[in-house]
């Protein structure tokens, strides 16, 4: 289906479901969301998840809707109410993995595989390396749940027999595992050896895990969606909901983890008659969505960094980088930090995946003399270099098919970088590159390597860049977002217009998601620092001097620099939220502490400093005064980037609560419950004619009027995107379908220094134009910006 044919999906509103915000709660929110102007609810995963799940991505049963959220009946009522209010529904789908829950019997399919091994009818569901089981007859699936080495656990009597539903089981505290039939009467040490799984110390996982997982999360086991029966069984309920009109479209979580993303999307398109589907595809820099993906587009990270980049002062890059280096002593360049972070991920976090790939090559050599005489040590070193050098998520090679030019370019580019780093490994790098390109796909193991290599490059990129490097390198934290080129300070209006003119109108766009490190409004405030780097530098020096008496010696200067940015960006932020964020940030950085090897002394030092700063009333007044000075510029960025997102190319998503200023940090902070009653009341006041008096009210006005405009003038937003000429570089303006014009203020501090708009104008096409935000009308031609933007820093103009 051509992108322009998805006209029924005009805008979405993302809702994070949980026990405290279930199907009934969504139903109660529907009247407000319909009034807001959206066309579709966009729900986080709705299938049955593991107990206590706060996000839904840990599915345990694809055959039923979440009982925690209300089950089928309450979902059906939600659908009825949505339809009554003219709203559609988009569901978040998790095809890549299922939960390994505690206890394991909550995932019936996994339980059957643990009990019956490769003979289980569900054995093909999970991506398990059964080679060890084939050699020994037992112990294939590593279950790294023990708090100590297994011998010590046995000595302490921590592993015991028990019973569950009349079935003998093995218990380790809250963990319960099935016992292989016929082995239940063996002595416990011998019994352990005879299972299809191997209980192990949790630290073993990073090196020896033999099932594919979601990134480095052992409790999310990958599913083999390439198997037709797995696709059919796991999607039956979702497809039924679509066929019954209870779901209109889907967002696909992490398709890069699948063996064949294009094949999966084609299956889904065939099964839904090309429903509106967007994929969570992270595109690096100028990378494009694969041409053979049958979907409407991405989930929007490629638009996020471009939209906010329009409001970044590129002249602020050098002074902010100098300040970062001066304060922290860290490199001004991202690349060496990213490479070091990726190397850590390859060698430590994803070592098990590397081992599995190397063992595949070694196994090939048994039958293929050309792949013989390569040692494990040198192959591991070469593979490490290739993975570190690979700079996109995936090459999309399908074994047995000729690789695309883009795939060859990406792999050869990585190979050249790897050879430059380690010229002595040239032969090994060449072999691995051949295998990754599928050039030796005559052997099943060759084909498997080709697929598994691609399923590894994505996690290396994600964990290495977004979940490690972006927590180590942040001269401006606002730029360190999923899929963002953090070392690219802004984008020129000309470059944005060029990109937008070619962007698909059916792809999702976003400014905030459940995965963003900081919400759009936190980033907006931090973006204003690019116009005042000297003032920011002075503030940092003042705050550091004021906090010197209680700064712990152990505190890293970069961690402190992040704390100041978070305080400014998210102010006001309480100590619990601040400390929770800093704990996550420092552990993700993996420099002084980590999730797997926490350093209590460093964790305590960070929290102690945060508490001391938060308790220093004199210092807090200085921070508050600084934030107040940012308010006028912040207002321009908050409203400007939101209006550009809502009226630019694509289908805009509004993340829950962000129709008002939403100052949130990384999850779980951004999943806080939203007060919809107060939002509904405020919207009714605006609709009754109340003039917006706060930034919250102004943002709600912008969001509601832009969404209603999309709803009422749908044809304009499937039409052309055209830049509008303005005589000031501080006006960013474009036209949609010849009917709707957007005008936003950029770089307001520089505009103020220049003396304001003066006689600058924006050129509107002939006709009478009405600003949906103020009600003012203008005739086409050169309209003075001082008049147009005198009341608000943005304008949304509709042709009569």
Q: What is the pLDDT of the chain when averaged over all its residues?
A: 95
Q: How much is the pTM? A: 0.96
| pLDDT one-digit tens code per residue, 124-144 | 999 998 876 666 666 679 999
The residues, any chain, with a CB within 8 Å of residue 497's CB and separated by 6 or more, are 721, 723, 734
Q: In terms of DSSP bridges, do strands 508-509 and 651-655 run parallel, antiparallel, or are they unpaired?
A: parallel
Could you tell me the sign of the dihedral formed by the alpha carbons of 73, 74, 78, 80, in that order?
positive
For residues 364-390, give the mean pLDDT. Answer: 94
More confident residue, 630 or 5: 630
Q: What is the pLDDT of residue 210?
A: 83
Annotate 763-787 with three-state secondary structure: EEEEEEEEECCCCCEEEEEEEEHHH
At residue 349, does pLDDT exceed 60? yes
Q: How far is CA 388 from the centre of its chain?
A: 21
Using DSSP's 3-state secondary structure scheme, residue 56 falls into coil
Q: How many CB atoms lie within 10 A of CB 608?
A: 16
Q: What is the pLDDT of residue 134?
A: 64
Whole-angstrom Cα distance, residue 740 to residue 647? 8
Q: Which residue has the tokens 């809250």?
A: 174
For residues 156-172, give the mean pLDDT. Answer: 95
Q: Which two tokens stand for residue 111?
A: 């339980």
Radius of gyration of the chain (CA): 27
Report DSSP letters for 374-405, one per residue. Answer: --HHHHHHHHHHHHHH--SS-----TTSPPPH
Q: Residue 441: which pLDDT band, with cuts at 50, 70 and 90?
A: low
Q: Residue 381: which pLDDT band, with cuts at 50, 70 and 90?
A: very high
Q: What is the pLDDT of residue 313?
A: 98
Q: What is the pLDDT of residue 2?
A: 40
Cis peptide before 720 (omega within 30 of 0): no
| pLDDT one-digit tens code per residue, 107-126 | 999 999 999 999 999 999 99
Q: How far is CA 408 from the centre of its chain?
A: 27
For residues 431-457, give the mean pLDDT. Answer: 91
At residue 687, does pLDDT exceed 70? yes
The residues, any chain, with a CB within 8 Å of residue 544's CB and separated by 6 or more, are 327, 551, 560
Whole-angstrom Cα distance, residue 520 to residue 656? 12
Q: What is the pLDDT of residue 285?
A: 84
Q: What is the pLDDT of residue 5?
A: 53
At residue 280, does pLDDT exceed 50? yes
At residue 206, does pLDDT exceed 90? no
Whole-angstrom Cα distance, residue 369 to residue 579? 57
Q: What is the pLDDT of residue 698?
A: 98
Whole-angstrom Cα distance, residue 410 to residue 683? 49
| pLDDT one-digit tens code per residue, 240-259 | 999 999 999 999 999 999 99
**Helix pair 444-461, 351-367: axis angle to 10 deg:** 160
The continuous run of DSSP H or E covering 674 comes out as none
Report DSSP letters for 74-93, one per residue. Answer: HHHHHHHHHHHTT-EEEEEE
For residues 375-397, give the mean pLDDT. Answer: 97
Strands (E), 468-619: 508-509
Whole-angstrom Cα distance, residue 425 to residue 308? 42
Which of the residue ranges 39-43, 87-91, 209-213, 790-794 would you say has the lowest mean pLDDT? 209-213
Q: How far is CA 29 from the centre of its chain?
A: 25
Could you tell me the sign of the dihedral formed by the alpha carbons of 358, 364, 366, 368, in that order?
negative
Report the length, in residues, of the chain.
Answer: 800
Using DSSP's 3-state secondary structure scheme, residue 350 falls into coil
- List, in order of start, the domains of the chain with CATH numbers: 3-96+225-299 (3.20.20.80), 104-222 (3.30.1590.10), 335-469 (no CATH), 719-800 (2.60.40.1180)
CA 733-717-93 angle, 5° bins: 115
Closest to 567 measured CA to CA, from 609, 512, 603, 533: 609
Closest to 45 measured CA to CA, from 250, 224, 220: 250
Whole-angstrom Cα distance, residue 563 to residue 140? 45
Q: What is the pLDDT of residue 690?
A: 97
Q: How many CB atoms lie within 10 A of CB 102?
A: 16
Q: What is the pLDDT of residue 286?
A: 87
At residue 4, does pLDDT exceed 60? no
| pLDDT one-digit tens code per residue, 503-545 | 999 999 999 999 999 999 999 999 999 999 999 999 999 999 9
């Amino acid at each position: 289906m051509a992108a322009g044919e998805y006209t029924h999906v005009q805008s979405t509103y993302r809702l994070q479901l949980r026990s405290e915000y279930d199907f009934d709660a969504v139903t109660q929110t529907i009247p407000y969301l319909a009034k807001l102007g959206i066309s579709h609810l966009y729900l986080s995963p709705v299938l049955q998840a593991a107990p206590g799940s706060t996000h839904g991505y840990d599915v345990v049963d694809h055959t039923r809707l979440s009982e925690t959220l209300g089950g089928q009946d309450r979902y059906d009522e939600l659908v009825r109410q949505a339809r009554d209010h003219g709203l559609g529904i988009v569901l978040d789908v998790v095809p890549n993995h299922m939960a390994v829950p505690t206890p394991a019997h909550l995932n019936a399919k996994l339980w059957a595989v643990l009990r019956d091994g490769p003979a289980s009818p569900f054995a093909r569901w999970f991506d398990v390396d059964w080679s060890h089981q084939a050699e020994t007859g037992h112990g294939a699936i590593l279950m790294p749940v023990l708090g100590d080495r297994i011998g010590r656990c046995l000595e302490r009597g921590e592993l015991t027999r028990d019973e569950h539903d009349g079935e003998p089981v093995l218990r380790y505290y809250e963990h319960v595992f099935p016992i292989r039939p016929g082995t239940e009467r063996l002595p416990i040490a011998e019994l352990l050896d005879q299972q299809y799984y191997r209980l192990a110390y949790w630290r073993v996982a990073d090196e020896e895990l033999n099932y594919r997982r979601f990134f480095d999360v052992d409790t999310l086991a990958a599913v083999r969606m390439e198997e037709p029966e797995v696709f059919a069984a796991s999607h039956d309920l979702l497809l039924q909901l679509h066929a019954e009109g209870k779901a209109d479209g889907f967002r696909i979580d992490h398709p890069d983890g699948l063996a064949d993303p294009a094949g999966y999307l084609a299956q889904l398109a065939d099964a839904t008659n090309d429903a509106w589907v967007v994929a969570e595809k992270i595109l690096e820099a100028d990378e494009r969505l694969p041409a053979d993906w049958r979907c409407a587009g991405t989930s929007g990270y490629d638009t996020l960094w471009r939209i906010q980049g329009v409001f970044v002062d590129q002249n602020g890059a050098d002074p902010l980088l100098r300040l970062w280096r001066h304060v922290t002593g860290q490199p001004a360049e991202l690349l060496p930090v990213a490479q070091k972070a990726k190397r850590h991920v390859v060698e430590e976090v994803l070592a098990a995946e590397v081992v599995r790939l190397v063992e595949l090559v070694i196994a090939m050599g048994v039958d293929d003399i050309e792949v013989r005489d390569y040692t494990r040590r040198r192959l591991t070193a070469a593979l490490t270099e290739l993975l570190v050098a690979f700079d996109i998520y995936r090459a999309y090679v399908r074994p047995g098919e000729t690789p695309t030019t883009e795939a060859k370019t990406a792999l050869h580019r990585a190979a050249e970088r790897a050879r430059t780093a380690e010229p002595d490994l040239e032969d090994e790098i060449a072999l691995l590159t051949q295998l990754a390109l599928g050039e030796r796909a005559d052997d099943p193991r060759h084909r498997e390597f080709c697929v598994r290599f691609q399923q590894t490059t994505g996690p290396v990129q994600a964990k290495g860049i977004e979940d490690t490097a972006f927590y180590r390198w942040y001269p401006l934290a606002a730029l360190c977002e999923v899929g963002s080129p953090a070392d690219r300070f802004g984008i020129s209006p000309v470059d944005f217009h060029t990109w937008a003119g070619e962007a698909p109108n059916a792809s999702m766009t976003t400014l905030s998601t459940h995965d963003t490190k900081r919400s759009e409004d936190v980033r907006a405030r931090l973006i204003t620092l690019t116009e005042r780097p000297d003032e920011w530098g002075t503030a940092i020096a003042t705050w550091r001097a004021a906090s010197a008496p209680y700064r712990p010696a152990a505190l890293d200067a970069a961690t402190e620099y992040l704390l100041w940015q978070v305080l400014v960006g998210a102010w006001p932020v309480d100590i619990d939220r601040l400390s929770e964020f800093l704990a996550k940030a420092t552990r993700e950085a993996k420099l002084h502490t980590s999730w797997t090897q926490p350093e209590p002394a460093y964790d305590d030092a960070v929290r102690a400093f945060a508490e001391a700063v938060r308790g220093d009333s004199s210092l807090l007044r200085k921070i508050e005064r600084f934030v107040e000075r940012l308010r006028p510029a912040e207002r321009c960025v908050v409203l400007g980037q939101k209006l550009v997102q809502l009226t630019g190319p694509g289908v805009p998503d509004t993340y829950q609560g962000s129709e008002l200023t939403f100052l949130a940090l990384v999850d779980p902070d951004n999943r806080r419950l939203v007060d919809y009653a107060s939002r509904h009341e405020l919207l009714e006041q605006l609709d009754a004619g109340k003039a917006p008096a706060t930034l919250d009210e102004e943002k709600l006005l912008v969001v509601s009027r832009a969404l209603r405009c999309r709803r009422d003038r749908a044809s304009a937003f499937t039409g052309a995107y055209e830049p509008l000429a303005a005589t000031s570089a501080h006006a960013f303006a474009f036209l949609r379908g010849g009917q709707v014009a957007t005008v936003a203020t950029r770089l307001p501090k520089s505009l103020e220094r220049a003396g304001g708009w003066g006689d600058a104008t924006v050129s509107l096409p002939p006709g009478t134009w009405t600003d949906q935000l103020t009600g003012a009308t203008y005739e086409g031609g050169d309209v003075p910006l001082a008049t147009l933007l005198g009341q608000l820093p943005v304008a949304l103009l509709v042709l009569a």
